[in-house]
Chain A
Amino acid sequence: MSADGCQVQVQEAAFNPDQLQCLLPAGGAVVTFTGNVRDVSAAGAVHALQLEHYPGMTERSLQAIAAEATARWSLRAAHILHRVGRIEAGEAIVWVGVCADHRGEAFAACEFIMDALKTRAPFWKKEHGAQDARWVEARDSDISRAERWQLTRTGDTGLGPCG
């Protein structure tokens, strides 16, 4: 397992998910996830999101999550890309790609990374509708999904192979 198997990137620029998978190493199983900005929420129409984050801690947190996944499922690679700043409805906001020897590890690791990111990485969404803007509330369902992996919020050891 090489130390560059974990790659995290936080950027304002839009990205094309189709161009990211080819950056993963070849391997038995590749699973990717793309999250896009929905154009509607419980509070109404959404034109765009404004993503605030905690520079420095964000990258550390994502690196720790990728390292934890890599150690837990013996991944060949774990890549995480997350946008910040203004993101229009329909645009991609997050991309995760993992490579493992077998599909079971790859599926589990990709889902784990997203569940951990949703509860541990310091990002905050503000929805911009037609006339107003509102902070997005954290969802209990995200906490319970993360708890399935027995994640603890202070459990980012950073001691994995990429730490």
Chain B
Amino acid sequence: MMLKVRFFARLREQLACEVLELPCEPGLNTVAALRSALAARGPEWQHALEDQNLLMAVNQSLAEPATPLSAGDEVAFFPPVTGG
């Protein structure tokens, strides 16, 4: 089973990536662990993902760094929202 990771708005542009499919390895058991693994993909990823204002969602509900992940989850990272 895989994890689906989505990026939106400015973050999507910074990473030049809209969606990723990653194998759900044993270490990727929280949103924070996934974020660290993504930051290790290269300098652009590290720079973009160190923004402390980024929001995270798991299965389309807002999540915290400690939110647990399991195989098949959809995780999203995005900047603070600006609708309305």
Contacts and interface: CB of A to CB of B under 8 A. Distances in A.
B6 A54 contact: yes
Contacts of B53: 138
Nearest to A113: B84
A114 B62 CA distance: 18
A93 to B, nearest CB: 7
A35 B83 CA distance: 10
A69 to B, nearest CB: 15
Given A54-B6, A153-B55, A120 B82 contact: no
A77 B83 CA distance: 22
A94 B84 CA distance: 6
Contact of B8 (A52, A60, A82, A153): A52
Interface string A82-124: 1000000000011000000000000000000010011111111
Interface string B1-30: 000001011100000000000000000000
Given A52-B9, A57-B57, A35 B76 contact: no
Looking at chain B, what size class is its interface with the partner chain? 20 to 34
B52 interface: no
Nearest to B59: A57
A153 B82 contact: no
Contacts of A137: 80, 82
Interface string B51-84: 0010101001111100000000000101111111
B9 A124 contact: yes
B6 to A, nearest CB: 7
A35 B80 contact: no
A122 B61 contact: no
B81 A123 contact: yes
B82 A35 contact: no
B60 A94 contact: no
Contact of A135 (B9, B62, B64, B76): B9
A120 B79 contact: no
A51 B82 CA distance: 9
B81 A94 contact: no
B60 A60 contact: yes
Contacts of B62: 120, 153-154, 156
A53 interface: yes
